[in-house]
Amino acid sequence: MRYSSTHKQEVREKLLASSRAIAKSGGFEATGVDALMGAIGMTGGAFYSHFPSKQALFEALISEEVDNSADMLAGNENSPADHVARCLRGYLSSFHVDNADKGCALTALGPEIARAGPGVRKAVEASLKRTQKNWSDRLGGDSDDAWALISQCVGAVVLARSVESEKTRKELLAASRRFIDKVYALEPPCATSAGHKKA
């Protein structure tokens, strides 16, 4: 059977998309090549025709993830004035906490990223710096505030996922939102970001 000229690229993209969700919900290191390939209906033996190693797949998926996050969080010249507030409302939400597979890779895979090679950490650093720069510009040029906001958000989601009680989880997220609004005087969004439920 002959495959189309785009078959290899299509399989690679499907594997990346599937692996992102699997890694964020169950951990990348804990998931074997057979399971990653099985999720797209292929055998583990075909993996190495798409990536030279499992680590290469991790680097590719993290690079895509952090680029997507930076595109969404950093915003651009067409983003609304309350862009940062909208981002924080969606990020510090029960929806984000309850759906790791659809959320930020840093909150789901932070320890694995920290143990990864320099290529992975370099991609993460570039993404964080892009978000930090854009948020700093929107917050009056204070780079410390932008770094603190990013750190507060990532830490709050990690903690919220670490507790058993839904009540405590919601209290933690709501307290983080109130604290950020009190300290940085961010205007609350008119409505919760699309696709996100209120905490």
pLDDT of 142:
82
Give this prediction's pTM.
Answer: 0.83
**Cβ atoms of residues 199 and 93 within 8 Å:** yes
Question: Mean pLDDT throughout 62-76?
Answer: 92
- The pLDDT, as a whole number, for residue 172 is 97
Q: What are phi and psi of 20, to 5 degrees?
A: -60, -50
Q: What is the pLDDT of residue 138?
A: 86
Strands (E), 117-195: none
The pLDDT value given to residue 3: 58
pLDDT over 90 (residue 187)? no
Residue range 126-179, pLDDT digits in tens:
999 999 999 999 888 888 999 999 999 999 999 999 999 999 999 999 999 999
Please report, rounded to a whole number, the percentage of residues in the chain having pLDDT higher than 90. 69
The single-letter code of the amino acid at 50 is H
- Reported as a pLDDT band with limits 50, 70 and 90, residue 196 is very low
**pLDDT beyond 70 at 86:** yes
Over residues 110-141, the pLDDT tens digits come to 999 999 999 999 999 999 999 999 999 988 88
Each as own residue / partner, the long-range contacts of residues 125-133 (CB below 8 Å, 24 or more positions apart, any chain) are: 126/66, 127/66, 127/67, 127/69, 127/70, 128/66, 128/70, 130/70, 130/74, 131/69, 131/70, 131/73, 131/74, 133/74
Q: What is the mean pLDDT of residues 49-69?
A: 93
**Is pLDDT of 47 > 50?**
yes
